[in-house]
Amino acid sequence: MLTSKQHQLLHFIQERLSSSGVSPSFDEMKDALGLKSKSGVHRLINALEERGFIRRMPNRARALEILKSPDQGPATNTNNVVSAPFGKASTDRVPVENDNSVEIPLHGRIAAGTPIEALENSDSFISVPTGMMGRGNCFALEVSGDSMVELGILDGDTVVIESADTARDGEVVVALVDREEATLKTIRRNGQFIELVPANRDYQTQVLESGRVQVQGRLVGLIRQYH
């Protein structure tokens, strides 16, 4: 059973594929569904993929295939495979594909300090080694701040995140607070509360009611550039 938003997004993608053969951008999806940010589109796409309605082609972060619709059942039209970007235009660079690396979405900045908005930019991609990928869908975020330095996560690093809505105590996660602000912290549960623990003694642990925190993904890799 799909939610109304999932159903609406699936039909919107189908209509655009049928009319133009090109998937709508994240901005177009956001506007069509009346969402406040593209992070909501990202979560809806993940949900549709988990339920078997769409599929992102292996090692091709910008290719989308519709497998079935709630009204018509399994799709048989192979023209539903789209290699155009989810993002702005087909003039963007073509993703690099080989046996050693894969391109994943780069969604913007994530705070390792005071929480800031994250998962807003879905039009950029980054190439990462295949061995760094988790078992599920992955995306990348640029780290802003120094609250995780004692775990070797520095300001300006790029972290690779495996999409997930659960995590074990002690894992480093992207945590969404009050559905508005995201931060990169170690998660720890304490009764009815969740603790978001920094790795810098200059910062304090955030203790929040469990209902205020949503896990968005788990840290699986880190990329650092030396200049």
For residue 177, with 0-12 CB atoms within 10 Å meaning exposed, 13-18 middle and 19 or more buried, which class applies?
middle
Beta bridge partners of 221: 160
- Give me the catalytic one of 39, 144, 147, 163: 147
The residue type of 137 is N
Active site residue 185: yes
Angle between helices 38-50 and 26-33 (to 10 degrees): 90
H or E element, residue 47: helix 38-50
Say which residues have a Cβ less than 8 Å from residue 133's Cβ, sequence separation at least 6: 102, 104, 160, 162, 220, 221
Say which residues have a Cβ less than 8 Å from residue 186's Cβ, sequence separation at least 6: 151, 170, 171, 172, 173, 196, 197, 198, 199
Active site residue 90: no
Question: Looking at the annotation, which residues are catalytic?
Answer: 147, 185
